[in-house]
Structure 1
Amino acid sequence: MPTLKHLNALDYIVIVVFLLMVAGVGVFVARYNKHTSDYFKAGGQLPWLISGLSLFVSGFSAFMFVSASGFTYKNGVAGVYMFTSAFGAYWLGYFWYGKLWRRARISSPMELLTRRYSQSTTYFYSIIAVIPNILLMGTLIYTLCIFISSALGFGSKTFDLGILTVSGFEITLIGIGIVLLVYTVLGGLWAVAVTDTLQFIIIFLMTLVVFPLSFIYLGDGSFLTGFDRMVAEAPAGYLDFSLGQISFLYVTTFWIMNCFGYNVNWHIGQRYYSIADERDTKKMAAFCAIVSLFAPILWILPVMVSRVLFPDIGLLWPELTAPHEASFVSLCLFILPNGFLGVVVSAILAASMSSADSTFNWLAAVVTKDVYVPVAKRLKHGDEPSDRNQLIVGKLTVLTIGVFAIAISLLFQKIGSSFDIYMNIYSMTTPAMFMPVLIGLVYRKTPWWSGMAAAGAGIAATFVMNIVAVAAAGLPLDSLGDVFREVSFSFLGMPFGKFEMNVWVGIAVSGGVFFLSARWPNKNPQDVERLAALDQDLRTPAYGNEGPVDPKSIQSYKIVALLSGFVGALLILLSFFSGAGRDVMINALTGIGAGLFGLFFWRLAKYYESK
């Protein structure tokens, strides 16, 4: 079995510097957050390119390099069908949902529910959204720590702290969680978007290195020879253009879920409504669609190389419950030079932090704008809380949810594959919750209570079917945790697992109740008037003012330019300490690439300054 590198002093320098840069962005951009609209919406002035890059990066985080790579390691070409599914989903945003989110003219994601249905619907969704999203954030932190602890090389070590003994993995998890909390409380949407843009640049540069280098290494210096070797030595059926062990129903269900996730997920809507002009939503969606088709392929193919290089990867990572999920990090540790390894780890770390920040930010917006403000106004007889109080509530919400997410993530290491955890949590509630949003934006003839009824019925039906499926399999139901056991069965000749069952039951029941509710239209004049106002807004284009570009937008381009240039200079400097000639070249060329990105964004800032 090949010997893997571990991070050395060069990599630790890069990681520390990178985290300081990211935290520095949060501190610097905090000056923009004069009002809650700045903190939660970037004042509606996010540049489309930065918003689009943030939209793309916040959609995958470390999941793509851990859970998705583990799936590809096991299933081969089927991973291409799975992880390019965002391509089709973004085109729905291009033609419909991007402009509808912008036309809704809202300041928090769930304000859409208040306008489309009722304030009660927003309260209902707020309650049922918090717990699943805390679980998902716990999954994200857990997934990220698989990558980080593996790269740092002390995931299997234990440390005696006197009153308790903890593993290196647990220390990594808690440490990253604390850094994440500090950053998210300082942040705001401006900080999220700017750092996301930097993460895209770094991950793009990493991709340009890992993809060709993996095949060149496999081919002993020849890319084509490496490709031929992968084809020859891959397991039987691994490279067939078929689904292999994955059912057509599973892949179809995954695509359907992405149609929800990449169009009506709350952080997606936040990116669309936070730009000035609805025409820019088309640019964002088209850009994300194209990148979502090609980038995953460039990440998936190196994992297939990893399958050939490490056929028994469990021997490398005996301490991991799902060692195949370390396939991408194993490849990086094997072929990349020290120094650049620090950049890879930092980029995926920061991208995941930004992804979590996105979720924390919209959750804080919902709790603040859609729960705290209406309740406080009722208690104060119509007086709205000050912006300062709203910001405090938002930051305390981030802190509280973050602490719970860290606690939950500590439990996941005892459960198993993060991919399975993610899919099961996501599928339990998401289809039922998002059906009234996905359909309700385009079909506006249902009454004020239809969103709650549809989502509630869908979630209840999904939960009941989980109980029925476990009982039918002859498994015990002694506790709530037993309800979430993975089972499989056949229905109408098709193989079902919990994931497929949850999604289709949620869609069928939620959608059925939603359309059935149209038989009882709104009769209350206030409900009729509110829905008519939304209908008028959704039919009216939301164009930005034809005037000078907002100074904050220009400044955001400059920040990205300076950070990219700094990363480039750091990599070029590290190349002098990289040792072997090939390592020097990789670090130096990647540094030059980062510098070119910095030059591009600087020129872009100057262009908009001159307009």
Structure 2
Amino acid sequence: MDTLEYVVIGVYFAVLISIGLVFRTFNANVGDYFKGGARGTWWLVGVSSFVAGISAYTFTGAAGAVYEAGWSILVIYVGNALGYLVNYLYFAARFRQLRRTAGPEVLRDRFGRMTEQFYAWISFPSGIIGSAMLLYSLAIFISSVFRLNMQLLIVTVGAVMIFYSVIGGRWAIMATDFVQCLIMMGLTLLVGGLCLIKTGGFSGLFELIEQQGLNSDYSIINSPERFNGAYTWFWAGAMLLNCTLTANNLGAAGRYFSVKDGKEAKKAALLSMVLMLAGCIIWFLPPIVGRLFYADQVTAMTQLSNPQESAFAVACMNLLPPGMIGLMAVAMFAASISSLDVGINGCSSVFVMNVYPVAKALFRLRERSEESLLRMGKLFSFFFGFLCIGAALLFSLKKELSLFDLMLTVTALLGTPMAVPLLWGMMIRRCPRWAAMSSIGCGFLVSGIAFFSPELFGVRWPFQWQIVGVWLAGTAGFLGSMLWAGGNAPEYDRQVEEFFATMNRPVDFEKEVGKANDLKQLKLLGIFSLVIGALVALLALAARDRFGVVCPLVLAAFMLLCGGVMVRAGRTKREAEAEKVSSVPCIADKLMER
């Protein structure tokens, strides 16, 4: 890694720190810190939700799977887009209208204290493990690009991520997400274009795949014998089902807590869907080009547990000019911040909003002020961040398991059993308060059998069997509990009716939240986009040839255009609001004249 790459990373980190410091001023209380005070605009929340759904894993673990199996992995991201579409059509507005700060609060409203506490406590290990996998995937990318020690990278990058998550809370994370999305989409569009130039367009790409005998491997649907049962019709159906349903249950409601109201939540979901579809078209061209042109370089990444997971990085190193490699690495770093919020700020919010109130009542602890709770939230963000780093270090030492397989295994064993009752809980009113626990118990029973299937049956259950088995068992556990719904206490039935009434009642933003800060969001993020665009343009000064001039200027133009549009839109909106305010006295004067 040359001096220019270090300069790019250093300057970029300085800009990101500035974003965190500026948006730190948005935090006045716990609600601001954990959910942006429910003042986030639809475009800011939509982009943040989109970025949270990709992270560096998309360019490492998923890219490694694309390197081996080609287009089959698109099923996952089409499934994510389908999940956002269902959000838009039905769930997004209702998620926002739950009017809560942390996910387990919603479960208390729906099922009661026992279910709330179960999900609160189990969210700690699941959130930390999920975030650790994302941190590990980020370390894979950076270590493969710069050939640095992976464990040292995990500690260093993890420490920086803790800083980001703690300093500015949800506002800083959403703002950073937005800027990083512009950088990431611009860079991946650029790299995707360079890939097509390298292959001679899509027609040339398909010809090269055929020439190298990869048509069979790169089919969207494969035979069960080729990849140990993966990438079949059954696998694709199970993946689409899982992606769609896990995005549309009470556990996913938190992604819309920050938006202003239900209408804006729908817009945010639609934006996330469009970005996901646009991204999945271009994200997986680089690993395929890595297989076609740079396979020897990929297999030479022996410092990685699974060299194929460096395919995206290898393609970038060969296609991008000097200076922009560092920019891609930093963009991947920032892309992971939003996902890490689940393990750091997310776990911290659960502790402050769900665990601490119970402990306070149980041990008769003193009442804390908003400022004190905010300090507690930051303290536990530090704590959970360090646990996340430790878990990522353990993953990096487990050589025999690929990142892609690890992500799918954790999803099937932990995520899916907990998601099943949270879907049915939104659709079915008449059930006992322990319905969710019944469903989880049945789901965990099947996932446990699947985990130990090699010892029990001599063969490991494929991912699709695990997913379908858990969904069926969890559904049976939930629906079966309805037989005892007649014994519900009257107060619980009233609680459920109140839950659904709240969920279906539109948010009156001015009465419930207060004054919006849309203009401030537009102005600040527009200015930061312009600044970063100008800094990217400076890379052209260090270019060694015409290609090195054109690439940074293309990306800079994209950033400057987006920033300029935002600043202009903010100015236009401010002028319109000023004109609206000034017209009020005129109307009053006319009434007085009458």
Match of residue 517 from structure 2 = 552
Q: Partners of 1:372 and 1:228 in 2: how far apart? A: 60
Distance 1:138 1:563, change over 3 A: same
Match of residue 603 from structure 1 = 568
Match of residue 538 from structure 1 = 503
Task: Determine whether 1:459 maps to 2:440.
Answer: no
1:408 to 385, 391, 395: 391
Q: Partners of 1:549 and 1:49 in 2: how far apart? A: 19
Match of residue 165 from structure 1 = none
Match of residue 314 from structure 2 = 330
Q: 1:510-539 CA deviation, whole Å, 9 max, x = no partner?
A: 211111111222632331221121121123
Match of residue 519 from structure 1 = 483
Task: Determine whether 1:182 maps to 2:163.
Answer: yes
Shift, 1:230, TM fit: 4.6
SS of match in other structure, 1:32: coil
Q: Which moved more, 1:464-473 or 1:246-255?
A: 464-473
Match of residue 67 from structure 2 = 73
1:284 to 268, 273, 276: 268
* 8 A contact 1:215–1:302 mirrored in 2: no
SS of match in other structure, 2:283: helix
Match of residue 369 from structure 2 = 386
SS of match in other structure, 1:37: helix
* 8 A contact 1:19–1:350 mirrored in 2: no
Shift, 1:389, TM fit: 2.5
Distance 1:227 1:466, change over 3 A: closer
SS of match in other structure, 1:444: coil
Q: Which structure 2 residues correspond to residues 273-312 of structure 1 after superposition, within 5 A?
A: 273-312=257-296
Q: 1:119-167 CA deviation, whole Å, 9 max, x = no partner?
A: 121111112221122111111111100001111223xxxxxxxxxxxxx
Shift, 1:208, TM fit: 1.9
Q: 1:409-451 CA deviation, whole Å, 9 max, x = no partner?
A: 1121232311111111121011111111111012121121211
Unaligned ranges ≥5, structure 2: 578-594
Task: Determine whether 1:170 maps to 2:151.
Answer: yes
Match of residue 121 from structure 2 = 127
Q: Partners of 2:406 and 2:493 in 1: how far apart? A: 42
Shift, 1:555, TM fit: 1.8
Match of residue 481 from structure 1 = none
Which amino acid counterpart does residue 43 of structure 2 have in structure 1? Answer: L
Task: Determine whether 1:441 maps to 2:426.
Answer: yes
SS of match in other structure, 1:291: helix
Q: Which moved more, 1:24-33 or 1:403-412?
A: 24-33
Which amino acid counterpart does residue 510 of structure 1 have in structure 2? Answer: G
TM-score by length of 1: 0.88
Match of residue 397 from structure 1 = 380
RMSD: 2.3
Shift, 1:239, TM fit: 4.1
1:24 to 14, 18, 27: 18
* 8 A contact 1:364–1:395 mirrored in 2: yes
Q: Partners of 2:271 and 2:155 in 1: how far apart? A: 35
Distance 1:364 1:589, change over 3 A: same
Q: Partners of 1:562 and 1:549 in 2: how far apart? A: 25
Q: Which structure carries more helix by proportion? A: 2
Match of residue 470 from structure 2 = 506
Q: Which moved more, 1:342-351 or 1:257-266?
A: 257-266
Unaligned ranges ≥5, structure 1: 1-6, 155-167, 474-486, 489-495
Q: Partners of 2:511 and 2:363 in 1: how far apart? A: 42
Q: Partners of 1:547 and 1:607 in 2: how far apart? A: 27
* 8 A contact 1:150–1:326 mirrored in 2: yes
Q: Partners of 1:265 and 1:442 in 2: how far apart? A: 11
2:222 to 234, 243, 252: 243
Q: Aligned pair count? A: 567
Q: 1:262-321 CA deviation, whole Å, 9 max, x = no partner?
A: 23374x422312212201222111222222222112111232222101234554212211
Shift, 1:468, TM fit: 4.3
Match of residue 341 from structure 1 = 325
Shift, 1:584, TM fit: 0.7
Shift, 1:377, TM fit: 3.8
The percent identity for this pair of structures is: 25
* 8 A contact 1:132–1:426 mirrored in 2: no
* 8 A contact 2:61–2:403 mirrored in 1: yes
TM-score by length of 2: 0.90
Match of residue 375 from structure 1 = 359
Match of residue 320 from structure 1 = 304
2:84 to 90, 102, 108: 90
